[in-house]
Structure 1
């Protein structure tokens, strides 16, 4: 029961986060250097509030719930680590969208919005990779060297454990 609730929270938060990563670049592209104050204010509030009150909390909840699911289900497989790398890329795209939101709000009339195409394509491609990894659970070769997986029977390089 608890596992189902956490999985539902994870999926709902992912839907919000992914939708925001697609919608926000499109909204930011609506800004123009010569727009009137009312249009600028409306778009600025929409993008800023959407990023800070919807998309970012959804990302935090999705990552937290996903982390809990990993430990509850014990999914320590190579495909999961590949998925986590893709999620890290989503986090980087999220930060780039946030940076653009800040630049648009601080530099009215000086900053031309970037094209939303690279952000949207990057987000959709990364989301597709995450979805394929989760649904297909492919056999990913374990590329970690053997010395990384076995104890080395060595002492720590310090005399005592730091407090």
Structure 2
């Protein structure tokens, strides 16, 4: 049980770090097109590697390990439902990060990429802060009937 929780937290740290770095990486890329002599290689960006090889596997491991911990503990507290809702929003932000990487790889669609990266980074920071707060505070929520 403790090993699963440790695996869950380690995967969460890797997932969060990759998701926070991705918009910074994409937004910091220069908007200038490559030289004429230099042929761009499709699907060779660092952002794509970070998203497909690090962030997505870490997300899957974190979600699977968290689900197993949830099932073994049989916890059905209201704070957990709030946390799972926030994690669902984080998964949506993860998908949007992938869309940002795809958009950054197409030079004709790079307009406003820095603004989109900044907005995505802000949303990620808010979601991660909210998740950590809910997990640590475990607020008492009374559902109206």
Tell me the TM-score normalized by structure 1: 0.78
Structure 1 outlier segments of 4+, above 4 Å = none
Secondary structure of the structure 1 residue equivalent to 2:23 = helix
Deviation at 1:124, TM superposition (A): 1.1
Unaligned runs of 5+ in 2: none
Asked if the contact 2:26/2:47 (under 8 Å) is kept, the reply is yes
Find the counterpart in structure 1 of residue 16 from structure 2. 18
Aligned length: 140
Name the CA distance, whole Å, in 2 between partners of 1:109 and 1:86: 33
Deviation at 1:114, TM superposition (A): 3.5
Find the counterpart in structure 1 of residue 62 from structure 2. 62
Find the counterpart in structure 2 of residue 100 from structure 1. 100
Alignment of 1:143-162 (within 5 A): 143=144, 145=145
Find the counterpart in structure 2 of residue 150 from structure 1. none
Name the CA distance, whole Å, in 2 between partners of 1:92 and 1:110: 21
Name the CA distance, whole Å, in 1 between partners of 2:103 and 2:121: 18
Alignment of 1:1-163 (within 5 A): 3-36=1-34, 45-105=45-105, 107-112=106-111, 113-115=113-115, 116-143=117-144, 145=145
Secondary structure of the structure 2 residue equivalent to 1:129 = helix
Asked if the contact 2:103/2:109 (under 8 Å) is kept, the reply is no
Structure with max Cα Rg: 1
